[in-house]
Amino acid sequence: MGGDQPALRLSGKEVFFYVFLPFALGHYLSALLRTVNAVLAPDLVASLSLSPAQLGLLTSAFFVSFALVQLPVGIALDRYGPRKVQLVLLVVAAGGALMFAFGDSFLELVLARTVIGFGLGGCFMAAVKAISTWIDPARLPSVQGFLIAIGGLGAASATAPVRKALEHMDWRGLFVLLALLLACTAFLIWSATPRVAQAPKPKANVPVLESIAAVYRDARFRKTISLILIPHAVFFGIQGLWIGRWLADVARFPDHAVVYLLYLSMAAVIFGAIAVGMITEWAGKRGIKPLDVAGIGIALFVAVQVAIVCNWKPSFQLLSVLFTLIGTITGIEYAIVAQNMPKSLTGRAATCLNLLIFVGAFVVQAGFGLMIGLWEPNHLGHHPAIAYRVAFGVLVLLQLPGLVSFARRRLTQTQPSSISSGSVVHATPISPKMPEPSAAQSCSAGFPSAARTVRKARQNSSPQIPSAAADKADSIHTLGAPRVMAAGLHCPATRK
């Protein structure tokens, strides 16, 4: 798709094939590479004789660089657009994958994993920025739900499909293949996605850090993260590691059963993300805001964790799947921020949000492990159930203030509306014997029937129209036709 086309219009199918799919493929590969070490761990340990501490550092290197790159990526997305930014980052990620494939030492693999995280740090944000440019904001929750579902599919692909691929190649060959896929995705985004005129760049006298601070100062941004940020961090931090350990230590499932339940959990992410998007769009058509949908979902998510704290033994399998299924509601945070922030700041706002989420996920995952470590494991290496109950209880306590604050805001918003609706002053009904002039007569007489029309509509169809409307209608008698037309009132007899 040729040069810059500022007035380009795309159909729904063109947006899907030229915008959504290329960027969604990048997000798919990002999710796959983020979780692939869980399956490759035995092979990496056997090849390089890694200790558990080294394996943990190697895996977490991805998250460190992924989080640190968020703010620079947000600035670049707003300044250069998702097409150029994603091209560069995916090429960097492809280079990191090749470095990993040919690394011969622990430090080389850590460096390569860091480069991969750096290159994939903008995949989701670039997709959000690109999609929000081309679709109606009301459809953002639904479309981003599909995007999150594709990420869940990428994470699921890092389990059984990767294990199947390792039957035909070693982990080095796998990373060469992944590097080729990243490079092909970069070429696809560059060649297929439409080029659009960039929005005006921020004024030179507005520092970048000040514009980032403006995102954090925005009341709508703070209101959103006060409810969803901590649950989102809990979802990311627990899903990627501790749900599996909980199933093994507390529920005492064998390894193959744990793997199967984790696979079901990944599938739940896919269906949950799609369902959240569809429910949010359905609710929006009925006047229900996405933040209200999120409030209900967060309450259910916390309820699942309360059930885990209560050690609800008959449903350990169900709780492990419900945790990820309902936890996908936290992904709505991206759509809410994209809908409420100015277009010039959507990329920056989304990456500020992503930075908070990944830092929070790191804190949750590490802090949860520290709490579990306060109890000694048994001779089989399993930690006691009380350790997990206390750790999950602390997470519930951290999430409750945001949920309670949201509920209090909703109550205070509904009370003034009920008071005002009860204090409406009703106008005196018009006499039924008064003749109504025709539209033409009304126009020629300076619109004298406008007040009576408003009163009649108020009496027959909406008896609670405020008296201010009647006062405005009464004033029409004193207005000349030019002043009435200037006020936006058009004569029905003169419309053709």
Residue 74 to residue 83: CA distance in whole angstroms: 13
The confidence band for 255, taking pLDDT boundaries of 50, 70 and 90, is confident
Q: Is the torsion defined by CA of 92, 95, 100, 106 positive or negative? A: negative
Instruction: Output the pLDDT for position 489.
Output: 41
Greater confidence (419 vs 336) lies with: 336
Instruction: Output the pLDDT for position 342.
Output: 76
Instruction: Output the pLDDT for position 277.
Output: 82
Residues present in the chain in total: 496
Tens digits of residue pLDDT in 286-317? 888 889 999 999 999 999 999 999 987 768 88
Q: How does DSSP classify residue 380?
A: T
Check if the beta carbon of residue 33 is closer than 8 Å to that of residue 123: no
Check if the beta carbon of residue 202 is closer than 8 Å to that of residue 344: yes
Please name each of the domains of the chain with its CATH number.
10-195 (1.20.1250.20), 219-414 (1.20.1250.20), 439-494 (no CATH)
Residue 276 to residue 222: CA distance in whole angstroms: 22
Q: Residue 169 contacts by C-beta under 8 Å, 6 or more apart in sequence?
A: 177
Which range has the top average pLDDT, 34-48, 265-279, 318-332?
A: 318-332
Strand positions, DSSP E, 304-378: none
Check if the beta carbon of residue 159 is closer than 8 Å to that of residue 39: yes
Query: What does the angle CA 142 – CA 146 – CA 147 come to, to the nearest 5 degrees?
Result: 115
Check if the beta carbon of residue 181 is closer than 8 Å to that of residue 120: no
| pLDDT value at 454 more than 90 | no
Check if the beta carbon of residue 456 is closer than 8 Å to that of residue 434: no
pTM of the model: 0.66
Residue 398 to residue 351: CA distance in whole angstroms: 23
Residue 457 to residue 150: CA distance in whole angstroms: 51
Instruction: Retrieve residue 135's tokens.
Output: 């679709």
| pLDDT value at 160 more than 50 | yes
Rounded average pLDDT over 100-104: 93
Kindly compute the dihedral angle of the four CA atoms of residues 105, 106, 111, 112, in this order, to the nearest 10 degrees. 70
Residue 77 to residue 229: CA distance in whole angstroms: 22
Place of tokens 């929750």: 141
Find the radius of gyration of the CA atoms of the chain.
29
| pLDDT value at 228 more than 60 | yes
Q: How far does the chain reach from its first CA to its final CA, in angstroms? A: 43
Residue 164's CB is within 10 A of a number of other CB atoms, namely: 9
Q: Residue 243 contacts by C-beta under 8 Å, 6 or more apart in sequence?
A: 262, 265, 320, 323, 324
SS3 percent helix, strand, coil of the chain, rounded to 5, is 80, 0, 20
Instruction: Output the pLDDT for position 19.
Output: 87
Tens digits of residue pLDDT in 275-289? 888 898 898 888 888
Query: What does the angle CA 56 – CA 57 – CA 59 come to, to the nearest 5 degrees?
Result: 65
8 Rama class: left (phi>0) / alpha (psi -120 to 50) / beta: beta
Instruction: Retrieve residue 79's tokens.
Output: 């300044």
Residue 283 to residue 289: CA distance in whole angstroms: 7
Instruction: Retrieve residue 350's tokens.
Output: 């989304």
Half-sphere exposure of 109 (CA within 13 A, CB side): 23
The confidence band for 96, taking pLDDT boundaries of 50, 70 and 90, is very high
| pLDDT value at 154 more than 80 | yes
> How many helices (H) and strands (E) are present in the chain, helices listed first?
24, 0
The confidence band for 207, taking pLDDT boundaries of 50, 70 and 90, is low
Tens digits of residue pLDDT in 23-38? 999 999 999 998 887 7
Residue 171 to residue 162: CA distance in whole angstroms: 9
Residue 256 to residue 415: CA distance in whole angstroms: 54
Tens digits of residue pLDDT in 382-404? 889 999 999 999 999 999 999 99
Helices (H), 139-250: 140-157, 160-165, 171-192, 208-217, 219-237, 243-249
CA distances from 378 to 246, 365, 369, 372 (A): 14, 22, 16, 13
Instruction: Output the pLDDT for position 184.
Output: 97
Residue 347 to residue 222: CA distance in whole angstroms: 17
φ/ψ of 430, rounded to 5, equals -80, 160
Instruction: Output the pLDDT for position 188.
Output: 95
